[in-house]
Amino acid sequence: MRFYTIQETVNALKNGDTTSVALVKEAVDTFEADKKSSTPLNAFLEIYDDVISLAEEADKKIVAAKSQGTLEKLFKEQPLLGVPFANKDNISVRGKKLTCGSKILNGYVAAYDATVIGRLKRAGAIPLGRCNQDEFAMGSSTEYSSYGATRNPINREYVSGGSSGGSAAAVSANQALFGLGTETGGSVRLPASYCGIYGYKPTYGVLSRWGVVAYGSSLDQVGILAHSPKDIATPLSVLAGEDFYDDTSCDLPQSSKLASLESYKDFSSLNIAIPKQFQEAKGMDADVAAVFEETKKWFTSKGAKIHIVDLPILEASIASYYVIALSEAASNLSRFDGIRYGNRVDNSKGYDQLYVDTRSNGFGPEVKRRIIIGNYVLSEQFSGDCYKKGMTVRAKIQSEIAKLYETYDVVICPVCPTPAFKLGQKVDDPLAMYLSDLFTTFVNLARIPSVSVPAGYTKGSDSESKMPVGIQFAGKMFDDVRMLELAQAWEEDHPMCGIPVKGEN
């Protein structure tokens, strides 16, 4: 697309410098050209068949408002009118396919809009298409998709991150202005870091989960991927808030500041915490550590105070996360049995065999692995004790993190110990893949907001081998606006960090 930000696009639509149809057609052409590439990005699984007609409707509204002198009023009511966005393949769009990157749901058509989709539609935004993901959001590289891996637009030999890798790659490659993702343990922030864009995980409940296929219900959240903090704040301003259909949903304090997000100013009173467990983490890539050091220098140059804090409970975050997430996944995915949901494999040998054959044929190896582990944790031998212990540790993490924010305003740390890795490098090493979440899971366990900012690049020998590095700013519950204001201050001092690198078409 010719315009990098939502505001640039909206201004161009208002001024007549472009049309919604032109934006959509450009995206469609890019999608079709990419399919013919020798190394296709594979960010979108499909472009929805009604995008042109929706864009035409938006253009008609704009033309009519211009003639009536009500253009500003129109965009106040529909701030995203005519703006196309990317959608992850586990978020329901009425009348459109939804597969969660899995064979078991191939051909399934959503019966209704997820709340986040409905709210974006009412704001005038156009769902452009569904994006690739790790199957049922279980993965950190988007290599565990039944429809092939998504490549990184910065260098197509590398992974895009996961599980929201398709949405991140689409935004990074400038195929969409912003994208919706979901995360259970870092699946928005991680691909944002790998692809060099901004990724936002809200306080649990700020964005409704109604219409989003569940992985780990007590951890799942919808998130937003974009080129700038303002491009997160604009859709967030229409998405945030309580939803009748989601009992865990809630309103976001200070949400009125989102529509015109400003950068954070009061750095002299900002107290930053860096957990010693993350500062001294084994396996942190030297280039990631170097970028983190530069980020700390930026904060201190602004007058912020940085403190190293000891939080031993964080060493249990990965274990607690996977016990809880996999247990809840085993429960949530039990409905995909060929009877209630899922493509049925019926060999007329009875319901038990139908159930076994359907799930064996429909699920990929990583999903099977997590279901087996989850069911084992919940099995009779343990009587749920392991899950309960995981929840006890989680409660301790929540308590310790809440106590931390009584003294400190923000936690900063890398998003991932390493930059993006090459395709196939870790796909057969589940433990190495799981450790990609080392710095992200505590945010989900504590239900706090966090935003990943593009903070720099690795020291590659040439431009193609330099990969992005993301740093995250995590705040206390419902401090979402301040985290985005901090990210906006970062963006204003580092504007090139968020500019997408265009890959091969």
CA distance 233 to 379: 43
CA distance 450 to 478: 10
Cα maximum dimension of the chain = 72
172 is catalytic: no
Catalytic residue among 102, 141, 146, 163: 163
Catalytic residue among 141, 187, 237, 327: 187
First-to-final CA distance of the chain: 13
Mapped onto helix, strand or coil, the DSSP state of residue 84 is strand
Q: How many CB atoms lie within 10 A of CB 27?
A: 25
Rg value, the chain, Cα:
22
163 is catalytic: yes
CA distance 431 to 424: 14
| Helix H or strand E segment including 193 | helix 189-195
Q: What does each C-alpha distance from 294 to 297, 346, 455, 489 come to in angstroms?
A: 5, 58, 8, 15
- Cβ contacts of 262 within 8 Å, gap of 6 or more: 485, 488
- Cβ contacts of 435 within 8 Å, gap of 6 or more: 283, 318, 417
Q: What does each C-alpha distance from 354 to 228, 310, 351, 375 come to in angstroms?
A: 48, 52, 5, 19
Catalytic residue among 88, 201, 466, 476: 88
187 is catalytic: yes
Q: Token match 């007058």: residue?
A: 303
Catalytic residue positions, numbered: 88, 163, 187
